[in-house]
Amino acid sequence: MAKTYREVAITGMIGTVEDAMRQVLNCWAELPAPMKDAVDEFHTRLAAAIDSVEFVRKALATEVRDPESEHRLG
């Protein structure tokens, strides 16, 4: 299944939040359970915020093109 720009955007933002938390803790292992819960909550709210704005939701619903497959076809 192809990824959408929405999934790419959310994954990137979640990664940034997790990295920031790890830097604050100076710990690159697993985050503590309360922080994991906070990241999960942020993910849910971020997705809802994206979906609540019609033109943003439509724009990010576009599938990400795979340059490799386009190269093979072209």
Share of the chain above pLDDT 70, in %: 89
Number of Cβ within a 10 Å radius of residue 50: 17
Q: Residue 46 falls within a domain, yes or no? A: yes
What is the total count of domains within the chain?
1
Q: Residue 72 falls within a domain, yes or no? A: no
Q: Residue 71 falls within a domain, yes or no? A: no
More confident position, 23 or 70: 23
Q: What is the pTM of this model?
A: 0.73
Q: Is the pLDDT of residue 63 over 70?
A: yes
Average pLDDT along the chain: 87
**Domain coverage including residue 34:** 5-65
Q: Residue 73 falls within a domain, yes or no? A: no
